Amino acid sequence: MELFYINKKYFDALLSLELKPQQKSKLFSDLCRINILYMINKAGSGHVGSSFSSIDLMSWIFLEYVTKDSSNYFFSSKGHDAPAMYNVMISTGQLDASMLHKLRRVDGLPGHPDISTPNIVTNTGSLGMGISKAKGLIKANRLKNKACKVFVMTGDGELQEGQIWESLNRLRQEKMK
């Protein structure tokens, strides 16, 4: 079976078009879905559902807030949606385009995000820790007098972990937005 993917030049062309942000994000997400399928099929494993369910929100956040020139952060606490995040990062120039072909390869992208990958700010692993990690990023940036936004994608399975509820409660008490 021959596998097909969308070359980065088509993403670049899309991003240069004068479209409403919502239209651009929708088209961007649709192109990313093709590349998610390509990456997972080529790798022989991966989580299509988790990647597809998060791609629309990831696309919007990366196109509007977590650009190459911003001081904002995004990470996915659940990690199973790594193919979606990698596709968005490749398509916006935050990861090398050759990595599209190297999911779950020794010289490529790990199955779950890891800080050894460029522009990945935190590892994933134990569910429920994402909010706590985001709070740490916010506090570290505040100590440096650096304004930033931190976006965290969480999954439904994480809601079973006590740590997420404790960190959300403290987030509210500390008035972090």
Q: How confident is the model at residue 177 (pLDDT cuts 50, 70, 90)?
A: low
Name which of 49, 12, 47 is nearest 28 in CA terms: 12
Q: How far apart are CA 31 and CA 9, in angstroms?
A: 12
Give me the residue label for tokens 């994000």: 25
Contact 88, 55 (CB under 8 A): yes
Q: Residue 135, Cβ neighbours under 10 Å: how many? A: 18
The arithmetic mean of pLDDT across residues 104-109, rounded, is 94
pLDDT tens per residue, range 74-102: 999 988 999 999 999 999 999 999 999 99
The 3-state DSSP class for residue 171 equals helix
Domains, the chain, ordered by start: 8-173 (3.40.50.970)
Give me the residue label for tokens 């930033």: 148
**75: which strand partners?**
152
pLDDT tens per residue, range 131-167: 999 999 999 999 999 999 999 999 888 888 888 899 8
Q: What does pLDDT average to over the chain?
A: 94
Q: Which residues of 90-110 are buried (b: 16+ CB within 10 A; e: fewer)?
A: bbbebbeeebbebbbeeebbb
- DSSP 8-state assignment for residue 103: B
